[in-house]
Structure 1
Amino acid sequence: MREFIYNSWNGVMNAEINPLKHIPDTNTRHMVLQVLAWMWCIVFSMYMGSIFVMGVSMIAHVLFLAAIVITVATFETAKNNPNAFKLRLEQRTNGYHTPSRTRYMWYNGKRIELDKNDVGGEHE
């Protein structure tokens, strides 16, 4: 049963397995999947006999598919470019997490270099 559910899920939601894999543009692929989801929302609401159900179902599908797309994009970015998740502040401050702990300070718009051997703070 578990394998059936896994294969069914991948057959619909995995863009590398389902027939939508032949669409090269990821945005177009997502839009086609979204239109299919809306189609199923309409079918479900007609079955239930309520327009309200259709609206709620469409919103739920949009949120659900958007969450999947964001998750997959995050995983792909982590796999292909792990440095994308570094804090920009950390990159600008040579590995220190706060500007006040860097090896320089700014005063009146001028950069003041600090002693390289000074550990900084009150930790002397």
Structure 2
Amino acid sequence: MKQLVVNGWNFIFDANVSPLRNIPDVGTRHYVFQALAFMWAVAFATAIGSYTIFAVSILGHTVLIAAAAITVATYTTAAKKPKMFVFGSGRSNDDEHV
């Protein structure tokens, strides 16, 4: 297993082993390696950032869905059992006529 990891590491990061060794100019080889490194850094940063933001997004969507559910429940209760909102408020329908 250790040798597999070492061989994989060398294949990617060792200029004498990787396919980049076929690029004759050392400067160009280095530039291509740096471009690939930057690409992978951006890819991992984007992936980790999206995982982190995904959790915040889930929380935000949960709050919005809960607010919509509470609104629907309130409107349904107001339509079917309006007296539920009068109970315990200290007011009754008889007070409206005074």
TM-score tier by shorter-chain length is 0.3 to 0.5
Structure with max Cα Rg: 2
- Higher-strand-fraction structure: 1
More RCO (CA 8 Å, sep 6+): 1
TM-score (norm 2): 0.48
